[in-house]
Amino acid sequence: MTDQTQSYHIQEDQHGSRLDRFLISTIEGVSRTYLQKLIRSGEVTVNDKVVKQPSRQLQHGDRVCLTLPAPRPLDTLQPEEISLDILHEDSHLIVLNKPAGMLVHPANRVNVGTLVNALLAHCSDLSGIGGVERPGIVHRLDKDTSGVLVVAKTDVVHRVLSIQFEQHSITRQYVAIVCGVPAKTTGTIVAQISRSQRDRRRMTTVKSNGRHAVTHYEILEASHKFAFVQLALETGRLHQIRVHLQHIGHPVAGDAIYGGEQRALNDADTPELKQALAHLKRQALHARLLGFVHPATGENLTFSAPIPKDIQQILDALQIHRGA
């Protein structure tokens, strides 16, 4: 496949439009985030001159050219026969239940054992928008977070799903066991998130110059020093749930990076709970439900994944069974 270049002439009623907003309103099935990436990488010209500012204002008569890169080859990654828990598959997409401990795509020099390696062995038709290392990957879950994830097989489906994520029309529901019991049964956490300057593995909340992030929570059940909570994302920032819960003083149990591992062990007051927490080996966070509109059929789809055994053992030790 080759790159595709498309040209447009700005009409009188489009005078003054931002470059990125003009393109998103003109090109079907491409997210603003992806278009802004193309602009900044020099794939857009205005009157034959490269423009890298998404906010560039257009004038009547301008000629805008956009080059949509062809999918990049996948021969740098090796397929691996790794078992997948597939919840749904058709010619357009795959929905699966990702286990804890599996990276979604290669990162930090790890290029084996990832979900992408498994997908390449499972099927040859994955979208190329994510590039060499992220074919088909529309969204991510942290390595040690389990749960429902959707993968695109075609570029069109990838773009449409990306737009749904960008517009927050995707339903994403998580469950977690947190340290301590929040004072309010339900609440909304609004705090900007940025990468920590002290530890590049971590994200942190900041008062300014971070990325806007919103997380809604509801306590499903509480038991002494722990709570079983349901969470809904309004935005999708890296480590968002884990950072936001730490921000309000209730880190996810087992989370070694954000303070939930040692605190949970310190607060465990029964042998059964201590044993269950020792067996956990990760944060007690699970993406339980994912709902979206199928890009090809228009059907409203919802998929769920049962609570994994390691989290269920903690709920049992806490004598919490609601939602399990």
Q: Are residues 278 and 221 in the same domain?
A: yes
What's the structural domain count of the chain? 3
Share of the chain above pLDDT 90, in %: 61
Q: Are residues 64 and 90 in the same domain?
A: no
Known active-site residue 142: yes
- Based on DSSP, count helices (H) and strands (E) in the chain, helices before strands: 8, 15
Within 13 Å of residue 1, how many CA atoms lie on the same side as its CB? 13
Q: Are residues 261 and 180 in the same domain?
A: yes
Q: Are residues 203 and 291 in the same domain?
A: yes
Annotated active-site residue in 20, 142, 255, 310: 142
Q: Are residues 233 and 161 in the same domain?
A: no
For residues 137 and 143, what is the distance between their CA atoms, to the nearest angstrom?
A: 14
Query: For the CA atoms of 116, 122, 126, 129, what is the dihedral angle to 10 degrees?
Result: 0
Q: Are residues 209 and 254 in the same domain?
A: yes
Instruction: Say if 307 falls within a structural domain.
Output: yes
Looking at residue 27, its pLDDT comes to 72
Instruction: Say if 81 falls within a structural domain.
Output: no
For residues 14 and 22, what is the distance between their CA atoms, to the nearest angstrom?
A: 8
Domain range holding 39? 4-68
Question: How large is the average pLDDT for residues 236-241?
Answer: 92
Q: Are residues 212 and 309 in the same domain?
A: yes
Q: Are residues 189 and 263 in the same domain?
A: yes
- Does 109 have pLDDT greater than 80? no
The model's pTM is: 0.77
Q: Are residues 102 and 138 in the same domain?
A: yes
Instruction: Say if 253 falls within a structural domain.
Output: yes
Q: Are residues 255 and 220 in the same domain?
A: yes
CATH number at residue 104: 3.30.2350.10
- Does 131 have pLDDT greater than 60? no
pLDDT tens-place string over residues 5-15: 888 899 888 89
Instruction: Say if 78 falls within a structural domain.
Output: no
For residues 50 and 53, what is the distance between their CA atoms, to the nearest angstrom?
A: 9
pLDDT tens-place string over residues 56-80: 999 999 999 988 776 555 556 788 9
